[in-house]
Amino acid sequence: MERRSWAEPFKVKMVEPIRMTSREYRQQRIREAGYNSFLLRSEDVYIDLLTDSGTSAMSDYQWAGLMLGDEAYAGSRSFYHLEEAVREVYGYAELIPTHQGRGAEHILSQILIKPGDVVPGNMYFTTTRFHQEYAGAEFADVIIDEAHEAANPHPFKGNVDLDKLQAVIDEVGAERIPYISVETNVNMAGGQPMSMANLKAVYELCRRHDILVMLDATRALENAYFIQQREDGFQDRSVAEILREICSYSDGATVSSKKDNLVNIGGFLALRDPELARRARALLVAFEGLHTYGGMSGRDMEALARGIREMVETDDHVRARVGQVEYLGALLLKSGIPIVQPVGGHGVFLNAAAILSHLPQDQFPAQTLTAALYVDSGVRGMERGIVSAGRDPATGDHRYPKLELVRLAIPRRVYTQSHMDVTAESVIAVYEEREAVRGLQFTYEPDELRFFQARFEPIPD
Ligand SMILES: Cc1ncc(COP(=O)(O)O)c(C=O)c1O
């Protein structure tokens, strides 16, 4: 018989207590944290939706793998298990293991970028763009316009606008574009996928101009699931097959394994070209570690190899993962809360610009809303708006992104449907009181990646 509804394809074997605190307690904690959710202690958080990065629950099979990790400095057995898993699941021959995604971004940017280059991409990601700029490149956003419109229901808001990409190539010349950085399930757009047809077209265009295509395949699994659900011709293909096809339209990928791959730390750069891989390994030994462990211990590599296989073993895992995110999104939409639509793969993104429409963007509506939500219920989200966008290195002014969002990222296999219900109730309660919320101003602003450690205070009356 057809199943009418689905449930998580696992049961819980171990629990970690969390505690609810009083409103006064949380007001005090957020003040001490400079109204920045990154600076809260996790023990003061009730439901932690700061990030889906490194917060997954591992399976019993992965935990068992930790005990079998080979901690040899060179030639670790666990490295070869990982290499085999990456070859089979993603299809890249060359594996360069790193401590996490940004380690891979660093190595890739350093081997490919020369000062004065331009790197086009489908919307920026914070650390990715940082490493591109740090290596001397300028980032050029070539995502479709629909990605910048929170309520636009386009099914593939992560798509590259081929005309914009062609215009960048015409303007600066292909020789100044070392690669295009293509992110699957674009995080800053709200976890929005790109279509296979679009990726294939990008790859063909870049081939014609001898430009490499480098994926940020951090959430490629979730992108593969959306392709299966939304793109003609993919309904009968497994998510594993779709993922392999995604990777086939690229020359390599950076991956933060703290997301799709179901581990708490780790990442990798994967390449096809052995010569590029040789150059990457030469830098790896300076910045991360020897080429057979990079930035990971043997046990981390063992758990990662198992996580990579587990995520595609059946489609049930990713269906339940995205299904939980969609469940929270549906609760909020039913109550008229403005969120990014369609609901993305790894979290629900609240449209802070619409919710706190009385605040100008330089009073940080998303930062403010994140703090208000924490005070209401102990639910911790993350600002993804003007604070994350940082300042333009040329002018020193704020960058004003069109999207001013609070991200409620859902860790994989960690929370239940009741946690989603509590979260939705809190968002609705804050929404009802929104007009009383005051904006914030900086008391400390770091120069780089300011959102991590910035501090704020409420703007006085
Ligand atoms: C799309 C994307 N790329 C890269 C990274 C960086 O990965 P890591 O945090 O493992 O350094 C992240 C992490 O949040 C991400 O979401």
Atom number, ligand 1, closest to the C-alpha of residue 219: 1
Nearest C-alpha to atom 16 of ligand 1 is from which residue? 187
The pLDDT assigned to 323 comes to 96
Arithmetic mean of pLDDT, 286-312 = 98
Q: Catalytic site residue 259?
A: yes
Residue 4 has pLDDT above 80, yes or no: no
Residues 6+ apart with CB under 8 A from 396: none
Mean pLDDT score across all residues of the chain: 97
**Ligand 1 centre from 460 Cα, in Å?**
35
The pLDDT assigned to 5 comes to 78
Arithmetic mean of pLDDT, 150-154 = 95
Q: Catalytic site residue 364?
A: no
Rounded percentage of the chain residues whose pLDDT exceeds 90: 97
Residue 19 has pLDDT above 80, yes or no: yes
Return the structure tokens found at 154. Answer: 């386009």
Measured from CB, residues less than 6 Å from any atom of ligand 1 are 53, 100-102, 125, 127-128, 183, 187, 216, 218, 256, 258, 267
The pLDDT assigned to 393 comes to 87
With left for phi above 0 and alpha for psi between -120 and 50, is residue 345 left, alpha or beta? alpha
Q: Catalytic site residue 73?
A: yes
Residue 425: burial class (beta carbons within 10 Å; 0-12, 13-18, 19+): middle
Arithmetic mean of pLDDT, 45-68 = 98
Predicted confidence (pLDDT) per residue in 193-227, tens digit: 999 999 999 999 999 999 999 999 999 999 999 99
The pLDDT assigned to 3 comes to 64
Q: Catalytic site residue 300?
A: no
Arithmetic mean of pLDDT, 289-300 = 97
Residues 26, 281, 380, 384: which is the catalytic one? 384
Predicted confidence (pLDDT) per residue in 100-112, tens digit: 999 999 999 999 9
Q: Catalytic site residue 451?
A: yes
Q: Please, which pLDDT band fits residue 2 given cuts at 50, 70 and 90?
A: low
Q: Which residue among 256, 287, 296, 405 has the greatest number of ligand 1 atoms within 8 angstroms of its CB, and so is best to mutate?
A: 256
Arithmetic mean of pLDDT, 113-125 = 97
Atom number, ligand 1, closest to the C-alpha of residue 127: 6
Residue 333 has pLDDT above 90, yes or no: yes
Beta strands in 76-193 (DSSP E): 94-98, 118-121, 138-141, 179-183
**Ligand 1 centre from 445 Cα, in Å?**
22
Return the structure tokens found at 1. Answer: 């018989």
**Ligand 1 centre from 324 Cα, in Å?**
21
Q: Which residue among 102, 304, 451 has the greatest number of ligand 1 atoms within 8 angstroms of its CB, and so is best to mutate?
A: 102
Nearest C-alpha to atom 6 of ligand 1 is from which residue? 101
The pLDDT assigned to 82 comes to 98
Predicted confidence (pLDDT) per residue in 350-364, tens digit: 999 999 999 999 999
Rounded percentage of the chain residues whose pLDDT exceeds 70: 99
**Ligand 1 centre from 102 Cα, in Å?**
6
Please check whether residue 154 is in contact with residue 146, taking contact to mean a CB–CB distance below 8 angstroms.
yes
Nearest C-alpha to atom 8 of ligand 1 is from which residue? 101
Arithmetic mean of pLDDT, 382-386 = 97
Rounded to 10 degrees, the C-alpha dihedral 28/34/37/42 comes to -50
With left for phi above 0 and alpha for psi between -120 and 50, is residue 196 left, alpha or beta? alpha
Return the structure tokens found at 275. Answer: 């010569």
pTM score: 0.95
Secondary structure class of 379 (helix, strand, coil):
strand
Residues, the chain:
461
**Ligand 1 centre from 94 Cα, in Å?**
20
Nearest C-alpha to atom 9 of ligand 1 is from which residue? 101
Residues 126, 218, 254, 292: which is the catalytic one? 126
Arithmetic mean of pLDDT, 423-441 = 97
